[in-house]
Chain A
């Protein structure tokens, strides 16, 4: 994928499909590295299935459960000299603490590092598509921080749904402004 935000969209959609009610997207940047972590409290994966998700062939059958997103993200991280990991606890074994954490670390100085791209559109798409999920987004970098927590928004909005057009436009504007301040 040409932009990391598309990888984030893809991985977060796995969390949606896993019926998570909370999804946390954390981006932690230094001058040298870029780390992304997407954690959810969805149904999780059993160990046998987890072993196969980075294998492109567990995913290319007609009945595939996940796309090529994970193999591509792993490749994108590793080709910068970074790393990739995915940890999961399935609800059958961990009824009270299930979920998945996908983590990728990139070396920003590598020529093969893909830029983050349009993260604001990614977040807006996710929130609009699944307004009932509690979305937590934190992006820290040496210049500052951008964050959004949809539960905090809901507390202010009361009965107004999160996918209300005006709310979505406000979220987009808020994030764009926060990024502009950090730049």
Chain B
């Protein structure tokens, strides 16, 4: 499953998609960035509600396949600009964190 396919099948909204063909392997959920930084696995989907600039750095360091902002959280255009530059995929989900994770789980 690629990030591109996930967007098509789950109806998440892609706001930054510099690497649509990235393969997804696993899922991590967390909002405390220092915690996520040490635990999210490479190629995972990372579901969070945090939307500040630091999430792009954490995504880069952990090399997750994409960030999904759940619960209808939105993200500033400035941050999207940086995400595009750094090759970080960001998807938006209107579903709650749990339902977002369940939708991801059904596909991967």
Residues of chain A having any CB pair with chain B under 8 Å: 1-2, 6, 55-57, 59-60, 68, 71-72, 75
Contact = CB atoms under 8 A, between A and B. Distances in A.
B57 A60 contact: yes
B54 A71 contact: yes
Interface in B55-76: 56-58, 60-61
Contact of B34 (A55, A57, A59, A68): A68
A57 B52 contact: no
Interface of B: 32-35, 37, 52-54, 56-58, 60-61, 82, 86
User: Which secondary structure dominates chain B's binding surface?
Assistant: helix
Contacts of B35: 1-2
B47 to A, nearest CB: 19
A57 B33 contact: no
B57 A57 contact: yes
A56 B56 contact: yes
**Which has the most chain A C-beta neighbours within 10 Å: B32, B33, B54, B58?**
B54
Contacts of A6: 34
Contact of B57 (A1, A2, A56): A56
B57 A75 contact: no
Contacts of B33: 68, 72, 75
B40 to A, nearest CB: 14
Given A68-B54, A72-B54, A75-B54, A60 B34 contact: no
Contacts of B32: 1-2
B92 to A, nearest CB: 21
